[in-house]
Amino acid sequence: MTRPVVHQPAEWDRHSACWLAWPSHGYLWQNNLGPAQTEFAALCLAIAEEGGEALDLLVEDDPAETEARAALAPVIGQVRFHRVPVGDIWLRDTAPVFVKNRSGALRAACFRFNGWGGKYVLVEDDRVADRVAALSGLPRIDHNWILEGGSVEVDGQGTLLTTRQCLLNPNRNPGMSQADIERSLRDDLGAEKVLWLEEGLIHDHTDGHIDTLARFIAPGVAVCMEAYDGNDPNAATLDRLASDLADFVDARGRKLKVLRIPSPGIVRDDDGELMPASFLNFYIGNRSVVVPTYGTPYDEVAVAALAALFPGRRVKGRSARAILSGGGAFHCITQQQPEVQ
């Protein structure tokens, strides 16, 4: 089989920048807007400080930019502000996926977006990929099917992890079979082998995005979660995921090495509803790994476990409970732009 024309680099490869959008829509965030902005700023500082990487930040209007400039003052020299309207901040799913061609040149791959299967259709979100691609100055590649960046996880060597609950969901691409999806993932992201997990966390409105369930931390090595709390309602799902991962063989013929860290357990919103909290929704930056925490007894244990897995980076736990009220955490609101060597 011939080598794919493009490939999506692993997240641990060096980045030239990280794309984000400042949270500013009060009607969406309500009482959590201020706390979410504080958590967002802490994430940005952790990514950018000590020369980590540049931040390309989308801001809605003058007041939003003023807020963002004040919050990011310690790293303001590493922030580029772009006046771009967005529905909300989930750029992992609405921005382009950056890929490299065979010669190593970078491209912005733009997919269709339908509000996570029509559940949250926000004005402007379906145009974010186009706008970010234009701002990046990179050649763009348009793909006429729905794909969210958080639904795929790659090792940079041809292996892609995803879930049937999301990519085979009829609310995304009802006319595409599993074979069609796999062919498109190969053509558009360079996935030489697709490894399918089943379903995600309870109350995950993304229908099982992989970036809350399993992450590659190196070629051939994946990390997932384990329920430390005997009442964790996701315990059986997490055990099944770990078992399935352990049976997988990647694109290079390696049996996956599977490591486990704690699950946050039960994290509830202001109305008492269970939220899809995950320590795996971390962002791998050039110098740091920023891990979402939720005020649980397992926060420090999880951060320490991940620190042992990323010896070349500073692993930092930062609160993401307010951001989680919007449906996701740090990986969901970031999109890395790989560096061109």
Catalytic residues: 332
Taking CB atoms within 8 Å and a gap of at least 24, the contacts of 298-304 are 298/228, 298/229, 298/262, 298/263, 298/264, 298/265, 299/264, 301/228, 301/261, 301/262, 302/261, 302/262, 302/264, 303/279
CB 54 within 8 A of CB 80: yes
What are φ and ψ of residue 125, in 5° steps? -60, -35
Q: Which residues pair with 7 in a beta bridge?
A: 100
Give one DSSP letter per residue of 37-96, joined into a string: HHHHHHHHHHHHGGG--EEEEEE-SHHHHHHHHHHTGGGGGGEEEEE---SSS-HHHHSP
d(CA 232, CA 2) in angstroms, rounded, equals 45
In sign, the C-alpha dihedral spanning 57, 163, 115, 142 is positive
Q: Is 2 left (phi over 0), alpha (psi -120 to 50) or beta?
A: beta
60 contacts 20 by C-beta, under 8 angstroms:
no
Backbone angles phi, psi at 108, to 5 degrees: -100, 110
Cβ(178)–Cβ(165) below 8 Å = no
Tracing tokens 């006429």 back to the chain, one arrives at 144
